[in-house]
Structure 1
Amino acid sequence: MPNPAHAYASCDRITLTGVAAVGFHGALDFEKREGQPFIVDTVLYTDFTQAAATDDLAQTTNYAEVAEIIRTHIVGESLDLIETLAVRIAQNILDECAYVHALEVTVNKPKAPIEVTFGNVAVTVFREREGTQSQGGKGAGARG
């Protein structure tokens, strides 16, 4: 299956990695009681043309706001699946950040209750703003 993010290869990107907090997500009761660290990485596909021309934060995506959206979801409502967490984070970013055309969100669960030695478990979702065609390129699906 082709990677839909490849359609955005020529887009500008903001990469935010390692947003970490303790959350209470998991299908097992003790995960919901005790909590564990979750680490989220995201790639935001956008267009810097206007922001670069004006040197104006209001013309781009404020990554501090994105980090807060992510943290709010990690520490918020307890969910059974990290897949659900990833989808909700992605949708919230698209809802709040008009300059994001598409994004990838990866939720890492490094302390997952797995009985064998492992380094990490993660899920990644890719989402596009509705009405954005998977053509990528500067200005694809621009709003704002």
Structure 2
Amino acid sequence: MDKMQLSRMQFYGYHGVFPEENKLGQRFYVDLVLSLDLSEAGRTDDLDKTVNYAEVYERVKKIVEGRTFRLIEALAENIASDVLHQYTNVNDVTVRVIKPHPPFDIHFDGVAIEINRKRASL
């Protein structure tokens, strides 16, 4: 299966368990890997035979910036579900959500979760 990757998309959202996170917000990064057959798009040079990544970006932006989730797991699940419902030619999607500066008094470069959802699981 072919892959389309959208790497390190940046958004500003209000996700988290702590009230400060919902009030102040923070930057989030999202990576997507879409598995689909890209052979016809490659042969025909036709955008209608693939997935328009600019459109995917806008859909992800709307989810990340338009709603508040307590858990980045829920954020990732909503992104995966949206992609699989919107793009019927995508067989599976891997979503990685990175919260680079969680509000804890510990020192690391962020936390990330990664999920993979397949069309068959819908």
TM-score by structure 1 length? Answer: 0.81
| Alignment partners' CA distance in 2, 1:131 and 1:71 | 24
Shift of 1:45: 0.5
More strand by share: 2
| Alignment partners' CA distance in 2, 1:21 and 1:103 | 19
Given the alignment, which residue of 102, 106, 109 partners 1:116? 106
Structure 1 match to 2:30: 40
Q: How many residues align?
A: 122
| Alignment partners' CA distance in 2, 1:17 and 1:37 | 15
Aligned-CA RMSD value = 1.3
**Secondary structure at 1:43's aligned position in 2?**
strand
TM-score by structure 2 length? Answer: 0.95
| Alignment partners' CA distance in 2, 1:79 and 1:107 | 12
Identity %: 38
Question: What per-residue deviation string (whole Å, max 9, x for no partner) do you get for residues 62-90 of structure 1?
Answer: 11111111111110111100000000000
Q: Give the letter for the 1:95 counterpart.
A: H
Answer yes or no: is 1:19 the counterpart of 2:9.
yes
Answer yes or no: is 1:71 the counterpart of 2:61.
yes
Shift of 1:130: 2.5
Given the alignment, which residue of 40, 48, 53 partners 1:58? 48
Shift of 1:114: 2.1
**Secondary structure at 1:130's aligned position in 2?**
helix
More helix by share: 2
Structure 1 match to 2:94: 104
Q: What runs of 5+ residues in structure 1 fail to find an aligned partner? A: 1-10, 133-144
Q: What runs of 5+ residues in structure 2 fail to find an aligned partner? A: none
| Alignment partners' CA distance in 2, 1:122 and 1:40 | 9
4+ residue segments displaced more than 3 Å: none
